[in-house]
Amino acid sequence: MEVIFLLIGISLLLASTFLYLFFKAMKGGQFDDDYTPSVRILFENQTKKSNKNQSTKSNSNE
């Protein structure tokens, strides 16, 4: 029976730690941008091509 009380105390301590870290991340602005990650995958190939084009253009200009 004593083990159950110990496990409940540890689980409450662990849950409160995770809750504190979650609120700290929310206050720090880690979850502010919801739109960009969902759209970034649509333009991934285009950005890689444009980066390659820009690097070849900069090499030819030098």
For 41-62, the pLDDT digits (tens) are: 787 665 555 556 666 666 565 5
Q: What is the pTM assigned to this prediction?
A: 0.50
Buried-exposed string 40-54: b where 16+ CB fall within 10 A, e elsewhere:
eeeeeeeeeeeeeee
pLDDT tens for 4-43 read: 999 999 999 999 999 999 999 999 888 787 788 778 778 7
State the pLDDT at residue 44. 63
Q: One-letter amino acid identity for 24?
A: K
Q: What confidence score (pLDDT) does residue 50 get?
A: 57
Q: Which helix (H) or strand (E) segment is 46 a member of? A: helix 44-61
- CA 49, distance to chain mean position in Å, is 25
For the record, the structure tokens of 8 come out as 């409940």
